[in-house]
Amino acid sequence: TPAPNGIYREPTAPVILPGSEDAAATQDGKKRIYWIRLEGELGTDITQKPIRDAIKDARNLKADVIVMELDADWKRGDEEGGEPLPNDAANFDEVFRAEDITPIFTQEIRKEWETPPKVVFWVKQAMAGASLLPFVSPDIYFASDARLGGIGNLSIMMDGVGDDVVREKQRSLRLGHVEGWAISGGHDYRFIRAMARIEYVLSVKYENGQPVLIEDFPSNAGEELLTDDGEKGNADSLSARVSGTGNDVLTFNARTAKALGLSRGTADSKDELISALGLDRTGVVLKGRSERIMEDWSEGIDTAKRRLKRLLEEYPRITPEPPGEYTDRTKARGRRTRALDEIQTILKQRGEGLSPRWRGQNGIPSEDQINTMKEGIKLEQLKDRK
């Protein structure tokens, strides 16, 4: 839980009390379902530390199924909210932020659990970098109004930087990395390509009720266009780009996700999802600590932001009172060093939830800069004379 200064305290292991639902689930053979709600902004509210703590809690409770309820919309502005952004305004480099989280599901659970649980992603909103997370799981479900997409800027990334060959190589490296996640989750890598590249054309036909993807425009009435080339008359309007209803890039909704085989079904409530999983009679939802873990993390990020701002505002004012005797100067340097120490502690424990954009906007120094500032204080003290 967060302390007043934003420092994170490691959660303690849960205790299963006799007679509780969690205890009953371990005794009557029912499948134990652990729920984790991921809500907010990727890299701020949705980040690896609280997810790991929730997964640890699920392991202590011997969960058989972990449901990741993903509700990560995509708006302009960190704190004040704002309007949804168009699909091609995203930064595909959020793949690197998602990359810090995906190993939890692709590697750590398999290594740390004696019997790994089934991990289910229930998508409510998964825009921008958060859209990449569900692909690591073969078990994806959508809410009826869900969207998954918003990474359609890959083709225009780095325009004007270097030559065409270098730019295309960098784009291909990024794309191939994420396509690997889709393949590991049992999904077609072309879904990622259609979500990310404006010029990529993808259609689908159905044979015996199964989707068959075609990397071309439809050639007959039995084929459906998913994404066009975004050229001239094919370019989406701004409203279509924002709403995700255009076809320059692929934005999944409940219908397309189910039809294309990305989603196993549609559910609009916990009960509906549990029923879709076939666990309405054979499963029990554990009363774990995930909700408190996620809330504590988000609250702690807010506290850390406020504290960092205050420390940086106060830092220049930490000076000795006139006439500035040696003892006063020494005390002032000590206070400055302690302020820098506190900044480092907050960044170490909460830094993963502070986006590069927020750090830049608020002048948060890097670790190297802070160390340089502390060394400067030491040198000042050594040179000072009574």
pLDDT above 70 coverage of the chain, percent: 80
Query: Of 34 and 322, which is predicted with more confidence?
Result: 34
User: Which pLDDT score, from 0 to 100, does residue 97 have?
Assistant: 84
Of the pLDDT bands very low, low, confident and very high (cuts 50, 70, 90), residue 245 is low
352-368: pLDDT as tens digits: 999 888 999 999 999 99
146-168: pLDDT as tens digits: 999 988 777 676 555 666 777 77
User: Which pLDDT score, from 0 to 100, does residue 79 have?
Assistant: 46
110 pLDDT more than 60: yes
Whole-prediction pTM: 0.83
252-268: pLDDT as tens digits: 999 999 999 999 999 99
- Tell me the mean pLDDT in the region 362-381: 95
Residue linked to tokens 């959020």:
94
82 pLDDT more than 70: no
Query: Of 265 and 323, which is predicted with more confidence?
Result: 265
Query: Of 255 and 174, which is predicted with more confidence?
Result: 255
pLDDT above 90 coverage of the chain, percent: 62
User: Which pLDDT score, from 0 to 100, does residue 86 have?
Assistant: 53
User: Which pLDDT score, from 0 to 100, does residue 242 have?
Assistant: 54
User: Which pLDDT score, from 0 to 100, does residue 378 have?
Assistant: 95
73 pLDDT more than 50: yes
Lowest mean pLDDT of 75-79, 100-104, 196-200, 228-232, name the range: 75-79
User: Which pLDDT score, from 0 to 100, does residue 160 have?
Assistant: 57
84 pLDDT more than 60: no
- Tell me the mean pLDDT in the region 185-203: 93
- Tell me the mean pLDDT in the region 47-53: 96
User: Which pLDDT score, from 0 to 100, does residue 162 have?
Assistant: 62
Of the pLDDT bands very low, low, confident and very high (cuts 50, 70, 90), residue 11 is very low
- Tell me the mean pLDDT in the region 214-221: 94
User: Which pLDDT score, from 0 to 100, does residue 1 have?
Assistant: 43
Of the pLDDT bands very low, low, confident and very high (cuts 50, 70, 90), residue 78 is very low
- Tell me the mean pLDDT in the region 338-354: 96
14-24: pLDDT as tens digits: 333 333 444 44
3-class DSSP string for the chain: CECCCCCECCCCCCCCCCCCHHHHHHHCCCEEEEEEEEECCECCCECHHHHHHHHHHHHHCCCCEEEEEEEECCECCCCCCCCECCHHHCCHHHHHHHHCCHHHHHHHHHHHCCCCCEEEEEEEEEEHHHHHHHHHCCEEEEEEEEEEECCCCHHHCCCCCCCHHHHHHHHHHHHHHHHHHHHHCCCCHHHHHHHHCCCCCEEEEEECCEEEEECCCCCCCCEEEEECCCCHHHCCCHHHHHHCCCCCCCCEEHHHHHHCCCCCEECCCHHHHHHHCCCCCCEEECCCCHHHHHHHHHHHHHHHHHHHHHHHHHHHHCCCCCCCCHHHHHHHHHHHHHHHHHHHHHHHHHHHHCCHHHHHHCCCCCHHHHHHHHHHHHHHHHHCCC
User: Which pLDDT score, from 0 to 100, does residue 208 have?
Assistant: 92
User: Which pLDDT score, from 0 to 100, does residue 93 have?
Assistant: 59
Lowest mean pLDDT of 98-107, 119-128, 165-174, 218-227, name the range: 165-174
- Tell me the mean pLDDT in the region 284-311: 96
